[in-house]
Every structure is written in C-alpha cells, then in structure tokens.
Amino acid sequence: MKNMSLRFFNTYSRQLEDFEPRDPASRKLDIYTCGPTVYSRAHIGNFRAYIFEDLLQRHLELRGYKVHRVMNITDVDDKTIRGAREAKIALQKFTEQFKQAFFEDIETLRIKRADEFPSATDQRYIDRMIEMINTLVSRGLAYQAEDKSVYFRINKFPDYGKLAHFDLTQLQSTGRVKHDEYDKEHIGDFALWKAWDEEDGDVAWESPWGRGRPGWHIECSAMATALLGDQIDIHCGGVDNIFPHHEAEIAQSEGVTGKKFVRYWLHCAHLLVDGQKMSKSLGNFYTLPDLLKKGYTGRDIRYALMRVHYRAPLNFTWEGMEEARQALARIDEWLVRLRETAGDKIDNKNVDLELGQQFEEALDDDLNISAALGFLFESIRETNRAMDRGELDAASAKAWLNWWERVNSVLALEIETAVVLPADVAQLAEQRENARREKNWKRSDELRDRILELGWETRDTKDGQKLAPHVKV
C-alpha cells in the first residue's frame, strides 16, 4: 500500500508542498488561527473557517503531531467600538456577550478549543503591540503621520505583497485603515496605531505616540509572537484574511524579528449563499441558533460545513442540510449494525482495511475531505452488504469499529448519547416482542410497520429485535 506524505497547499507559494514542520523530531507544531471579531454572534460562514481549522488540527493529531494552537479574539476594532457606542455600554461588556456565544457555538459544533484564546485588549498584548511598533519606527519601517496615527511604510518592506501575489502599484485602499488617506505616504500604508478620536469614547491606551488604540493587524502579530515565538508552523484563516490582514502580519512580524514568520499559510474558501459570500454586511447569514431552531443539530451543521474541500467554495442550501442529516443517519445505522455483529468480541482480526487506509491518505492530501468521505461511505456500503449476507464475522466487525474510532477522532461526528427510543416507539416495540413470543407473526408485522411510520427500523436478530433510526434514501 502506498504511503503518501502529508502535503498542503501553501498560499505563499501557491503550490502543494510536502509538510515539513520546524522541528520534526519533537512532533510539536505551533498553529495560529485568526479568531472572531466579537461585535456580533459569529455566523456559520465564520464557522466554516473554524471547522476547517479543527479538521486540520485533528488530522495532524491523528498523524502523531502534538498541536499547540492559539486563536485570538479581536475585541477592539472599528466594529466593536461602534457596536458598544450604539448599545451605550462599555466595550468590554459589549464584547463579553459575543465571546460567551462564540464558546457556546464551538462546543455545539465539536470544535476543539485552542490551547489559548488571547484577547487583544489584554494589557500584556497591548504592551507587546506598542513594543513592536516602537521597533518598527526605530527601523524606519513605520512613521507617525500628521493625524498622529502610526503607519507601516510598505515601500520599506520589499516582500510586501508576496503572500497575496500583489503588485504594490495596484494596491487599493481597504476598509480597515484609517479613512483619511492624505496623511499617509502611500495609499497602501496601514495603521499600526490609531490616534484617539471622538468616536472612540473612552476606548484608549497611552502610548509614545499619544492616546489611541491598536490597528487590527498588529493585534495578531503581537499575540502570535508573544505566545508562539518568532516563527510558527501553520497560520490559517479565510481567504478574505490574505490581504491586507495576513500580508500585514508578515510585514510587522518579520520587520521586528527579522525571521521568517510562518512556514505554511492555509486559507479556506468562503461559504456562499446564492453565489455570494455569507457575510454580516450582506445580511445573508445564519447563526448557529438560527439553524438549531429549525431542528438541526450541531453535528448536522458540522457535517454540512465540513464535507467540501476547504479550498472550494461551499454553497449553503437547505438540501445540503438534509443531505448532512441523511449521511449521519447512515453512519449511525451502520455503527449499530457493526456493534451487533461484533457482539462482545474484544480481539481484532487483522483484516485488510484498504478503504480505511484510503480515507486517511485522502486527508494527507491537502485535507481532501470529499474524497475521504467517499471512502467512508464506500466502506459503509461494502460492510453493510457483507452484513446483509451474514458474511461479516465478529472480528472483522470489531476491526471496522476500531478503525471508526480513528475516523471519528478526526471527523467528530458520532452520535453523542446512546440512541434513546421515544416512549411511543418503546411501547410498540414491547408489544411486538410479546407478539413474537406468541408467534403472532401477523401482529408482529403490523407493529413493525407502525414503528417504521414513527421513523424507526426493526431488525430481528438471535438476541431479539433491535431498533435503529430509519434512513430514507
């Protein structure tokens, strides 16, 4: 069986590259992932990015890496300040509610918590931002303009534009820099420190350049280097982060440390609605509670957001949600059958799980989840067929269950609790058991049909009847 090495598409080189971490012997990896801006509840487009990062971490762990991951919380920027002002409450109080909501949502979606969730307003990081800006100014890489804000001088950083593959002359102004462009030397220079203005209210910190607040980009450079050091293995985000945010992060971090900041840049494509990016500003978004209210579970949503390769755009549709539900029901049913077949078998015959191997190798190949899921469902089909014929022995069933443990450590899709039968179904099932004891086959069949109408499938085994959720195909 061929053994493929891990490889990822690096935005920096625009190529698939074999994965070589900084310190291969220790198997330790540092990953930085840009987190939410807490000015509203995150929408499921944001969660597509976080689920992709979760899949990345889980697969690296399956391959034996020890992942140390940091996800920042942007709790001060134009949007959070505006939101707090409109709500007439303190910035911290305003952002706190959305931080809480974010943690609830990642739990619902089974996204592993990062090891650290630094907040930009933590004084430790504000100090670090000021220190970095100081260094950049002393090196001529930054300057204070007439408006008292401090800007990064992109002309002094020759690599600027390499991540986004941009020609400097084509740079356009972006929404996240201060609007008054005339104070800057170059239209592409971005704010490191924004001088206080009235709209900021009481949101301000003292600095060598006067009262003000940090720019969004320096927040991430400061938190990443403070917690992970000068160099990190992988940095992720959505494609909209590439420019200017990540480009700026490289310029700031490397401008200070003189070392290559990130080895692999991974970016996920957007979640779309009718061909357009799901976003707060377009108003075409759903939050997790919106979908939960419609009866979908966290794992339905996880599956729906995960099933397409992270570099391909994914269109959000209700059919997609239904497909997710059906796919999960098929997995649930398969696991029930496998467990029945395996019985209490403990040893695991050495069976050739060729399809199982292919699942893992598909993920090695730049996290090709659609191919991996294809192999999973092929495995399910084949083993189900073998079980239909009574040809899957207990040891093989056990081997598949052991393999599923590995699969589920990456997908995190297994149903959480043992399936609980609704009371009406349980009652009918009991009546059917009695009918069968009395050899009343007609009544037994009638009851089976009634149970099916309620969405449950009955199977008769030598240990009595077993029930599982019915899968409509």
Question: Measured from the CB of residue 213, what is the shortest distance to Zn ion in angstroms?
Answer: 16
Tokens of 244: 């200017």
Question: Measured from the CB of residue 246, what is the shortest distance to Zn ion in angstroms?
Answer: 7
Contact between 95 and ligand AMP per CB under 6 A = no
Residue in 110, 270, 325, 337 binding ligand AMP, rule: CB under 6 A: 270
> Is 205 strand, coil or helix?
strand
Signed CA dihedral, 467, 354, 324, 306: sign only: positive
Question: Measured from the CB of residue 175, what is the shortest distance to Zn ion in angstroms?
Answer: 15
Residue in 230, 240, 414, 433 binding ligand AMP, rule: CB under 6 A: 240
- What string of DSSP letters covers 48-106? HHHHHHHHHHHHHHHTT-EEEEEE-BB--SHHHHHHHHHHTS-HHHHHHHHHHHHHHHH
Interacting partner of 220 out of Zn ion, ligand AMP, none (Cβ under 5 to 8 A depending on kind): Zn ion
Contact between 237 and ligand AMP per CB under 6 A = yes
Q: Compute the C-alpha angle 284/286/287, nearest 5°.
A: 145
Q: What are the angstrom distances between the C-alpha of 60 and each of 67, 211, 284, 292, 370?
A: 7, 43, 33, 30, 18
Q: Please choose, out of 40-48, 170-178, 339-347, 428-436, the segment that lies near ligand AMP by the rule CB under 6 A.
A: 40-48
Residue in 92, 97, 231, 279 binding ligand AMP, rule: CB under 6 A: 279
Contact 235, 264 (CB under 8 A): yes
- Count the residues of the shown chain that bind Zn ion, applying the rule CB under 5 A: 2
Contact between 399 and Zn ion per CB under 5 A = no
User: Pairing mode, if any, of strands 7-10 and 314-315?
Assistant: unpaired
- Measured between alpha carbons, how far is 333 from 356 in angstroms, rounded to an integer? 18
Q: Which residue is nearest to ligand AMP (CB)?
A: 238
Interacting partner of 41 out of ligand AMP, Zn ion, none (Cβ under 5 to 8 A depending on kind): none
Interacting partner of 262 out of ligand AMP, Zn ion, none (Cβ under 5 to 8 A depending on kind): none
- Measured between alpha carbons, how far is 27 from 43 in angstroms, rounded to an integer? 34
- Quick note: the x/- pattern for Zn ion over 215-254, rule CB under 5 A, is -----x----------------------------------
Question: Measured from the CB of residue 402, what is the shortest distance to ligand AMP in angstroms?
Answer: 34
Q: Which residues bind Zn ion (CB under 5 A)?
A: 34, 220
